[in-house]
Structure 1
Amino acid sequence: MFRTALRNVLAHKARLLMTALAVVLGVAFAAGSLVYSQTRSGAAAEQAAAGYDRIAVNVGVDAAPDGGAPTGLDERLASRLARVPGVAHAANRVDGSAAVADRTGRLLGDDDAHRGSNYAASGADRTDAAYRFTAGRGPAHADEIALDAATARQGGYRVGDRVRVGTGQAAATYRLSGLFRSDGHRLTDGGTLTLFTTRTAQRLFATPGRVQSIELTARSGTSAPELAERVERLLPKGASAATGATLGRIQANLASGDQDTMGQILLGFSLVALFVAAFLISNTFTMLIGRRTRELALLRLLGASGRQVRRVLLAESVLVGSAASAFGVAVGTGVAAALNQLLGTAAGPAGPLVLSPATLFGTFLLGTATTVVAAWLPARRAMAIAPVAALTGSESPAPATARSPRTAVGAVLTAVGVLVVVYGALGAGIDARTVIALGTLLAVIGVLGLIPLLARPFVAALRPLLLRLSPVQGVLATRNTTRDPRRTGATAAALTVALALASGLSVLGASASHYLERATTHDFTADYLVKPAVDSARLTPANTKAAARTPGTRVSGLTQSTAYRLDGRPAVLTGVDPATVSRLLRYDLTSGSLDTLARGQIAVADYKAKEAGWHVGQTLSVRRGGTSGKVTVGAVYRADPQSNLLPSITAADSLVARYDKTPHTHVILVATDRTHGGAGPATYSALTHALGDDPALSVLDRRAVEAEYSGDIGDQLTVFYALLTMAAVIAGLGVTNTLALSVLERQKEIGTLRAVGLTRAQVTRMIRWEALLVGALGATVGTVLGIFLGWALGHTLQDTVSGYTLVLPWARLATAIALALTTTLLASIWPAHKASRVPIAEATSAS
């Protein structure tokens, strides 16, 4: 039986090539995803833990009991700890955020990795073991800094140059004393690290005389746990000691955990690719077995049992699946290695390739098992045909009908799946997404079972159009497409899955993008927005006054003040300049007037007013700390609770100052006057200069604001669409395979058509029309299913994201359908060429 299977595989190797290629792609995707994600995770963990092996014990500050910021450690503690037996060195550490500008004033490095620290010189050589200098030396004076070598290279700086640095206080210019390299946990790839003297770092990031941690190195022969025990006895209340190895493990676990999400996404899409490939495999084996019914019947008449013949067919699938899976694992590993080198960043640093035997062997078994399972149903169906009927050709595949068991099961699964999805969207609560996932699985399986039944009415609906465009080839294409609805449905199923995912993501992404635009940029009518660029930066009223000195501008800060009790309810007030705010933010008023802000009244968002039962003209009690008073509601406006800019309660700056002397300035809004040139490079430069040329403050124009608050959705969708391309490629292979095998089955028919006058060009067009019909069927069903799923997932957000509405991105949906049709059209090129070259005499003489 095994020799028979091997012989059959070799005899049909050309026909099985597309199946093997689909398995290769699916397994390569799965293996590459797992290897790449594990490599990224390992590299991130190694980078996060790098350097902790140099530290024996780290002394830090425990979190404050009231949740406030810890006060730090007395810097003199390091001197006492340095005298503990076994301690070689004790280095004070003061860390914060520091933004470095290039020569044009632009911020260097990644947006979230701008670090500042102190250079803790110690020992006889007055060096800091955490840094290895490649040029110059560490900072020794208050006006000096040192930069990591990568940042200096990016900014074009050399030792001795003047560098502008912002730290949340006023920006200053320093002389560059040296360039260095450091451990991964102190300097991430793509980030910046600026070193100051300890006194300067304390002034910028802490309090003079206080430090945030102390690093201890051990003398030879002293273990880290032993040293930690000795140090613990000398620590003040609120401080604790941990070994460097412990901290390294903690940081490694955190870093590797951050990489797991992308790994899970990649794995999910690889499973989708294998799921789509399963339809291609099943379809291919169905057609191959259909062509070999006489051969299989002859084996059974010669004495082979049905079980033995089934074993032959399954052995063929094992041979194809194992060979293709092995090659797919090799390809996936190669792709992962290439991606590891090309995409090594702070989010996924390059590192040694992680080749886990469980991953490689598991993906190999997954690909082989997928092939075997996909081939099992065609083999089982073939064995249901009586040998004599198969040998005489009297048995033909049963057409898909409304009363067939397959159709009944498909209808039931579809109905149940749809009901489960609707229940998940409307009433499943916190488990809604899990319920929707289950319903989606049932609905997809059910729809795939119904596609053969949908093929006939769908093609019939398109028939008039085809007759108008191509009377002869259109009629032939429609007949050939509906001749075997199950084969047509199985071919369209792969496209259905790909289009359902693409359409669902498009609907969800477009709705989320519209919501974010509505919640942010819709409210933003100013020309510029000023915000902190680093964690330590804080906007102040002085920044607002400085921005207002820019010629031809109208400026207002949004100053947030908390801890209010308004009519007995907790509230946050946002102070604005009443004279300019209407030019900077869009207030869609439902009642009252915004002019009342200048008279000491407040404006309230509609959702806040509805929740509290407030209305225009109502007087409310207000209390903050020991200060109390009365305030009147002067206006109510439409707003979204998730808006990044439009506040829930708006008040004049003067009203906020009555209760809070030091409110927090959230952002500064700037509008320009066109008579002074309006928004442009000159105004941008003047505004940046008025703010002190501080790289710690970001000045964003309208386009940058939109990208800041809503650009992530588009980037994520781009990644997802790229991953879905793999499923589309596999679906295209399925169309190619089906049409190629269909051409082989219909050689006599095609030869007869050629004999009665059909030209090669007309045969080619006929095959292409068949491909387009299959593609249109799969794309239409998939798009409808995707829109439904996108609605369901989006509906689960409405309880937590007020203002979220369904948006149908018609342009994206049309583009996805057009790409699907293009894929099927390209997939038909080789089968169409093959059909047009069928020898007339040989085909018509075939028995």
Structure 2
Amino acid sequence: MFRTALRNVSAHKARLLMTAFAVMLGVTFITGSLVFGDTLNRAATAQATDGYERIAVEVDLNGSPGGGPGPGAIDAQAVTALAGVPGVAVAAGRVDGFAAVAGRDGRPLGQGESHQGANFAPGPDGTDPAYRFTHGSGPAGNDTIALDESSAAQGRYRVGDSVRVGTNQGAASYTLSGIFRTDGMRLTTGSSLVLFTDATAQRLFLQPGHYRSVELTAAPGTQPQGLLRRVESVLPQGTSAVTGGRLAQIKTNLATSTSSTMSQILLGFAAVAVFVATFLISNTFTMLIARRTRELALLRAVGASRRQVRRILLTESLLVGAIASAAGLAAGTGVAALLRTLFTPADTPAGPLVLTPGTVIIALLVGTLLPMVAAWLPIRRAMAIPPVAALSAAEPTAPARAGTLRTGLSAALALTGTAAVVFGAFTTEKDARTVIGLGAALALTGTIGLIPLLSRPFVSLVRPLLRRLQPVHGDLAARNTVRDPRRTGATAAALAIALTLASGLSVLGASATDYLDRATAHDLIADYQVKPADGAMRMTPDTAAPLRKLSGTVFSPLNQSTQYRLDGTSSVLTGVDPATIGRLLRYDVIEGSLDCLAKGQIAVADFKAEQAGWHVGQTLPLQRADDQRGSVTIGAVYQADEQSDLLPSITAPDSLVARYDSTPNTAAILVATDDGPGPAALGTISRALGDNPALAVLDEAAVRAQDSGPIGDQLNVFYALLSMALAIAALGIANTLAMSVLERRKEIGTLRALGLDRAGVTRMIRLEALLIGGLGAALGTVMGVFLGWALGRTLQESVAGYTLVLPWGRLALGVLIALAGALLASLWPARRAASVDIAAATAAQ
């Protein structure tokens, strides 16, 4: 049986090529996803643990070990005491905080979000073991700094150059004293690191004479655990100690969380690709077995049992899967390298590709089992044909059952799924999206089962257009497309799945982008919004103080203050300048007046007032976490979206916030000028803020881009991943047409004999491909828009301004790409059909 299967694979290798290629693509995607994830995890682990082997024990302020200190600081005397513990070779006090280095263009250097500053802590020999200098030396004066090698190269800085650095204390220029390399734990990929002297770092990031942590290096022969026990007996109050090995484990867990999420997303798209490939494989084996019905019947007639014939066919699928799996495993490793180049953030650490035994086993299992599962139903159908009936037919085929049960079940699934999606769209329950997801799976499954039934009305709908454009070839193509609806449906289903996902994502992305654009255009009246350039810097009300010197300019910080309870309700107050906020933000007041802010009262968003049961004129008791107490009166209620990044839930005068909170966080600074936005105004504001590289001055267009840009970036990644499923669907069309040409050689030869030229045959096959592609694209687009609408409905409860937006351009582009793929897939089958020998084809029995 095995030798027979081997011979059959060899005899039909051309026909099985597309199936093997589909399996290879599915395995390639799975392998690439797993290798990509393992590579990111291994690289993140290596970077997170790089340098901790040098640290025996770290003393940190109370909080999560290695996860950021709590309040307070470690004074220099405590560092001296720790240095005297037996077994301690060096005790290095560390201070760190936010510091952005300006490039030649004034923008922050580094491509990541981590811009750090730290202290240079030299020992008795004048060196700091954490840093290795390639040029110059560490900072020795308060006006000098050292810069990491990557940032210095990016900014084209050399020792002796003047470098501008922005911190939470403002911006200043320093002289570059040295360029260094350091451990991965201190400097992540794509970020920047500036070294200051002890005194400067303490002034900028903490307080003079104090440190955030202390790194202890063990003397030769001292074990970290033993040193830890001795250190714990002399720990300063409010601190804790942990070994470097334990810190490395904690950092590893934190570092791998992001890469694990990306790996799961990739595996989800890989599952889609494998699901699409299943249709191609099943369809191919259906056509192959149909053409070999007489061969299989002859095996039965000479004594082979059904089990033996079934075993032969399953062995064939196993061989195809094994060969394709091996190829997919090799190609997947290359795809992982491509994914790492295209889809990893700039701050992702680099490392060698990682191919684990688990990845090899999963890829081989999927690649070998997938063809066997996909081929099971066609084999079962073929086994139902009696040998005598198969041998008596000139071109025997498996009985094409009417499929009443299948059609009824598919219709029931489609209707049930559609009803569930509609119910989920209109319900307000928290699990509405889960209901929509389950309903979408049922509806899509049912629609796939109904595609053979839907193919006839679809072809009937477009046939008049085909007859008008191509009277002969169009009519022939339409007839051939519906000759075997089940085959056409299985081929179009793969394309429909990919287009459903792409269309649904397009609808959601376009609707979300439109909402953000409208919200920004409506809420923002100010000419500019000042925000941290990378989100890491902490702005305070003092950040906006230099703007007071500008004439013809009004501004207001948005000072967020937390930990309030108003009338027992947890609340966040945002302090604004009552005199200017009306020129900077648009408040649609429903009740009361915004003038209440000047009277020391607060204005509340409508959703907050509704949730808490508040109304204008009500006086609320106020209590803060530090046990400060008071009261506030509601003077106005305004319309706002709960998801808005601009309009706060509670607007208060900045004097009220300052009464309870001396250090609020300034989320943004809104600025308006008498002359309106322009290069001159932008330059004036930037100079007034000290040309600080850590601050970004954004106009309305930049604010929109900052809010909606990530959505477009994510959609582009998802589209790129879905392209694999589209490629497999195109292969399915090519395979179906190729097998169809083999089955219709006599028919094609007859058409040629009757006068249809080669160009006509080619045109007929291409039109068939376009019909199949159009069927899949139409169903996929309709399903995608439907699901996008349903998911969007669930957002309207929490996002008041969200409305459905149909991105006609992207939807049309998706259909055009599908049709183009179908047309490309038809090139090889059309060429084979055009080259059919007339005499040999018409003489065939």
Aligned residue in 2 for 1:83: 84
One-letter amino acid of the structure 2 residue matched with residue 369 of structure 1: L
CA distance in 1, matches of 2:126, 2:309: 82
Match of 1:55 in 2: 55
The one-letter amino acid paired with 1:348 is T
Letter in 1 for 2:844: A
**Does the CA-based 8 Å contact 2:530-2:668 persist in structure 1?**
yes
Post-superposition shift, 1:69? 4.2
Q: Matched residues in 1 for 2:149 and 2:93: separation? A: 23
CA distance 1:397–1:520, shift in 2 (3 Å): farther
* Number of aligned positions between the proteins: 839
Distance 1:155 1:801, change over 3 A: same
Counterpart residue number, 1:633: 635
For residues 794 and 477 of structure 1, do their structure 2 counterparts lie closer, same or farther at Cα, with a shift above 3 Å needed? same
Q: What residue in structure 1 maps to residue 679 of structure 2?
A: 681
State the secondary structure of the residue aligned to 2:134. Answer: strand
Deviation at 1:567, TM superposition (A): 6.1
CA drift of 1:68 comes to 9.8
Which residue number corresponds to residue 708 of structure 1? 706
1:110 is matched with which residue? 111
- Relative to 1, partners in 2 of residues 1:648 and 1:775: Cα closer, same or farther, differing over 3 Å? same
| Distance (Å, rounded) in 2 between the aligned partners of 1:37 and 1:563 | 39
Matches within 5 A, 1:267-666: 267-337=267-337, 339-340=339-340, 347-393=347-393, 396-399=397-400, 401=402, 404-422=404-422, 424-425=424-425, 429-520=429-520, 522-533=522-533, 537-550=537-550, 552-562=552-562, 569=569, 571-594=571-594, 597-598=597-598, 602-615=602-615, 618-621=617-620, 623=622, 628=630, 631=633, 633-634=635-636, 636-653=637-654, 663-666=664-667
Confirm or deny: 8 A CA contact 1:118 1:196 kept in the other structure: yes
Structure 2: distance between partners of 1:608 and 1:739: 61
Aligned-partner residue type, residue 758 of structure 2: R
1:128 equivalenced with 2:128 (yes/no): yes
1:377 and 1:624 map into 2 onto residues whose CA distance is: 69
Bigger shift: 680-689 or 423-432?
423-432
Q: Which moves more between the two structures, 774-783 or 433-442?
A: 433-442
Mapped pair 1:722 → 2:720: yes
Deviation of 1:312 (Å): 1.4
Change (3 A) 1:257 1:815: same
SS of equivalent to 1:70: coil
- Counterpart-to-counterpart distance in 2, 1:826 and 1:714: 28
**Partner Cα separation in structure 2 for residue 104 and residue 97 of structure 1:** 20
Instruction: Give the residue type in structure 2 aligned to 1:649.
Output: I
> Residues 561, 30 of structure 1: CA spacing in aligned structure 2 closer, same or farther, 3 A cutoff?
closer
- 1:400–1:485 CA contact under 8 A, matched in 2: no
Q: What CA distance in whole angstroms lies between the structure 2 residues aligned with 1:794 and 1:442?
A: 19
Alignment CA distance shift 1:339-1:632 (3 Å) = closer
Structure 2 Cα separation of the partners of residues 216 and 724 of structure 1? 51
Contact 2:189–2:348 (8 Å) recurs in 1 = no
Q: Is the 8 A contact 2:191 2:347 kept in 1?
A: no
State the alpha-carbon separation in 2 of the partners of residues 151 and 828 from structure 1.
52
Q: Do 1:424 and 1:435's aligned partners in 2 also have CA atoms closer than 8 Å?
A: yes
Cα offsets for 1:228-284 (capped at 9, x unmatched)? 011111113321111101101111122122210000111111111111111111111
Shift of 1:438: 3.6
Q: Secondary structure at the match of 1:679?
A: coil
Name the amino acid aligned to 2:619: L
Q: Aligned partners of 1:758 and 1:591: how far apart in 2?
A: 78
Return the letter of the residue paired with 1:371: P
Q: Which moved more, 1:174-183 or 1:825-834?
A: 825-834
1:101 aligned partner: 102
C-alpha distance in 1, partners of 2:551/2:604? 32
CA distance in 1: counterparts of 2:240 and 2:653, whole angstroms: 46
Distance 1:347 1:278, change over 3 A: farther
The change in CA–CA distance for 1:95 and 1:542 in structure 2 (over 3 A counts) is closer
How far has the Cα of 1:619 moved from its partner? Answer: 4.9
Cα separation, 1, equivalents of 2:688 and 2:441: 58
| 1:699 aligned partner | 697
Q: Compared with structure 1, are the counterparts of its residues 347 and 369 closer, same or farther at alpha carbon in structure 2 (3 Å cutoff)?
A: farther
- Paired amino acid for 1:716: Q
> Residues 670-696 of structure 1: CA distance to partner in whole angstroms, max 9, x if unpaired?
22344xxx4233322221101111122
Identify if the C-alpha distance between structure 1 residues 591 and 462 changes in structure 2 by more than 3 Å, giving closer, same or farther: farther
Kindly indicate whether the alpha-carbon contact (under 8 Å) linking 1:188 and 1:346 is maintained by their aligned counterparts in 2: no
Could you give the per-residue CA deviations for residues 539-578 of structure 1, whole angstroms, max 9, x where no partner exists?
Answer: 3444434235445433222233455665675544433344
Task: Confirm or deny that 1:780 pairs with 2:778.
Answer: yes
**Distance (whole Å) between structure 2 residues aligned to residue 480 and residue 197 of structure 1:** 80
The 1:540/1:353 distance shift into structure 2, 3 A limit, reads closer
**Greater Cα shift, 467-476 or 659-668:** 659-668
Distance 1:627 1:353 in 2: 59
Q: Aligned letter for 2:260?
A: D
Name the residue aligned to 1:193: 193
Instruction: Give runs of aligned pairs for residues 27-38 of structure 1, distance below 5 A.
Output: 27-38=27-38
Equivalent position SS for 1:464: helix
How many angstroms apart in 2 are the aligned matches of 1:700 and 1:350? 33
Q: How far apart, in 2, do the equivalents of 1:572 and 1:33 lie?
A: 42
Q: For the Cα contact (< 8 Å) 1:297–1:390, is it kept in 2?
A: yes
How many angstroms does 1:413 deviate by?
2.7
More displaced 10-residue stretch of structure 1: 561-570 or 298-307: 561-570
Q: For 1:50 and 1:568, locate their aligned partners in 2 and report how far apart those are by CA, in whole Å.
A: 48
Match of 1:208, as an amino acid?
A: P
Aligned partners of 1:99 and 1:534 also within 8 Å: no
CA–CA separation in structure 2 for the residues paired with 1:822 and 1:202: 63
Identical aligned pairs, as a percentage? 62
Q: In 2, are the aligned partners of 1:498 and 1:782 still within 8 Å (CA)? A: yes
1:234 aligns with 2:234: yes
**1:359-402: CA deviation from partner (whole Å, max 9, x where unpaired):** 1121111011111111111111111111122222275555574x
Contact 1:101–1:164 (8 Å) recurs in 2: yes
Deviation of residue 319 (structure 1)?
A: 1.1
* Counterpart residue type for residue 79 of structure 1: T
Alignment of 1:98-177 (within 5 A): 98-123=99-124, 125-177=125-177
**Contact 2:555/2:669, CA 8 A, preserved across alignment:** yes
1:729 corresponds to which letter in structure 2?
A
> TM-score, with normalisation over the residues of structure 1?
0.94
Once superposed, what is the RMSD of the aligned Cα atoms?
Answer: 2.6
Tell me the secondary structure at the aligned position of residue 235 of structure 1. coil
Report the alpha carbon displacement of residue 600 of structure 1 after superposing the two structures with TM: 5.4
- The equivalent of 1:180 in structure 2 is 180
Q: Secondary structure at the match of 2:354?
A: coil
* Most deviating of 800-809 and 814-823: 800-809
CA spacing shift, 1:523–1:382, aligned 2, 3 Å = same
Contact 2:734 2:826 in 1 (8 A): yes
- For 1:579 and 1:561, the matched residues in 2 are separated by 20
Secondary structure of 2:704's partner?
Answer: helix
1:27-68 deviations in Å (ceiling 9; x for gaps): 11111110111011110011011000000111111139xx99
Change (3 A) 1:645 1:754: same
Segments of 5+ residues of structure 1 without an aligned counterpart are: none
Q: Give the TM-score of the pair, scaled to structure 2.
A: 0.94
Partner of 2:523, secondary structure, is coil
The one-letter amino acid paired with 1:620 is T
Determine if contact 1:428/1:435 at 8 Å carries over to the other structure: no
Q: For 1:326, what is the secondary structure of its paired residue? A: helix
Contact 1:40 1:351 in 2 (8 A): yes
* Distance (whole Å) between structure 1 residues aligned to residue 37 and residue 563 of structure 2: 45
CA change 1:338–1:658 in 2 (3 A) is: closer
Contact 1:60 1:239 in 2 (8 A): yes
Distance 2:272 2:629 in 1: 61
SS at match of 1:98: strand
Bigger CA drift: 834-843 or 337-346?
A: 337-346
Partner of 2:258: 258
- Against the structure 1 CA distance between its residues 588 and 815, is the aligned structure 2 distance closer, same or farther, given a 3 Å change threshold? farther
Whether contact under 8 Å (1:97, 1:535) holds in the other structure is no
CA contact (8 A) 1:519 1:644 kept: no
